[in-house]
C-alpha cells in the first residue's frame, strides 16, 4: 500500500464532559434556539476541543499516544460562566472568564506532542470554548450565566467522522489528569 493509500483518521483531543454536565450545557444551547438560530450541537457531542489534529496516519497516532503518556497536568476546575458568539464561524459557545493555568498547560502540552510527531500545529492562540450551536445568526442577549462547575479529571483522543446528518464522534482513548508528583 502506498503512503497515500494508508487510511488516516481525523482526530482531535478534547475534554469530554460527563452526561450530567452535558445536560446542563445543552440547556443553554436550547435556551438560545429562537434568538440565535442555527442548529444545536447534540447533547452527547458537546465537548471542549483541546487540539485539532486533522488526518492522522497510524504511525503518527502511535507516536502521539506515546508522547501523551508522559504528559503530567493536574486535574482542574472549569467554571463555565459566559456565553458568546463568533460571527466568522457562526458558532455559539460556552466559556469561562478565568481559564485555569492547567487547562492552558494541557493544551500547550498537546500541541508540543503534535509537533514532536510531525503534525501541523495550530498557530492561533488557544481559546477556551464549547460549541453549543453552529450556523447561528447572532449571539444571545445575555452573556453571563450561573456557572456550570466542571471538574476535569481526564482528557480524550476522539475520532471525528462527517456524515450527512452531522459529525459523529468516538472517544478512542482517555488519559487521567495527574500532577507530576503522583
Ligand atoms: O470545538 P469546536 O466545535 O470549535 O470545528 C471543529 C470542532 O471545533 C474543529 O475541531 C473540533 C472537533 O471537530 N475542526 C474541524 N476541522 C478543523 C480544522 N481543519 C477544526 N479545527 C481546526 N482546523
Task: Please give the pLDDT value at position 182.
Answer: 60
Q: Can you give the residue ranges of every domain in the chain?
A: 10-176
Q: Strand, coil or helix: what is 14?
A: strand
**Stated pTM of the model:** 0.94
Instruction: Give the confidence band of 96 by pLDDT, cuts at 50, 70, 90.
Output: very high
Count of CB atoms situated within 10 Å of the CB of 101: 11
68 closest CA partner among 50, 82, 88:
50
Task: Please give the pLDDT value at position 6.
Answer: 72
- Which residues are near ligand 1 (CB < 6 Å)? 12, 49, 52, 54, 131, 160
Contact 74, 135 (CB under 8 A): no
Instruction: Give the confidence band of 166 by pLDDT, cuts at 50, 70, 90.
Output: confident
Q: What nine digits make up the cell of 71?
A: 504528559
Residues 104-152 have pLDDT tens digits of 999 999 999 999 999 999 999 999 999 999 999 999 988 999 999 999 9
Helix and strand numbers, DSSP H then E, in the chain = 4, 9
Kindly report the protein residue whose alpha carbon is nearest to atom 17 of ligand 1: 52
CATH number of 10-176: 3.90.1140.10
What's the 52 CA to ligand 1 centre distance in angstroms? 6
What's the 63 CA to ligand 1 centre distance in angstroms? 22
Q: What nine digits make up the cell of 75?
A: 486535574
Amino acid at each position: 500500500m502506498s503512503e497515500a493509500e494508508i487510511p488516516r483518521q481525523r482526530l482531535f483531543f478534547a475534554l469530554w464532559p460527563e452526561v450530567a454536565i452535558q445536560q446542563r450545557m445543552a440547556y443553554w444551547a436550547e435556551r438560545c434556539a429562537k434568538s440565535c438560530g442555527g442548529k444545536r450541537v447534540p447533547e452527547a457531542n458537546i465537548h471542549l476541543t483541546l487540539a485539532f489534529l486533522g488526518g492522522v496516519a497510524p504511525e503518527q497516532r502511535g507516536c502521539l499516544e506515546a508522547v501523551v503518556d508522559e504528559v503530567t497536568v493536574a486535574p482542574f476546575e472549569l467554571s463555565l460562566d459566559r456565553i458568546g458568539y463568533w460571527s466568522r464561524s457562526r458558532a455559539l459557545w460556552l466559556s469561562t472568564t478565568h481559564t485555569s493555568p492547567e487547562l492552558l498547560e494541557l493544551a500547550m502540552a498537546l500541541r508540543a506532542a503534535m509537533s514532536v510527531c510531525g503534525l501541523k500545529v495550530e498557530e492561533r492562540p488557544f481559546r477556551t470554548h464549547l460549541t453549543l450551536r453552529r450556523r447561528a445568526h447572532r449571539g444571545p442577549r445575555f452573556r453571563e450565566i450561573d456557572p456550570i462547575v466542571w471538574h476535569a479529571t481526564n482528557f480524550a483522543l476522539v475520532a471525528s467522522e462527517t456524515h450527512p446528518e452531522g459529525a459523529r464522534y468516538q472517544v478512542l482513548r482517555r488519559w487521567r489528569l495527574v500532577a507530576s508528583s503522583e
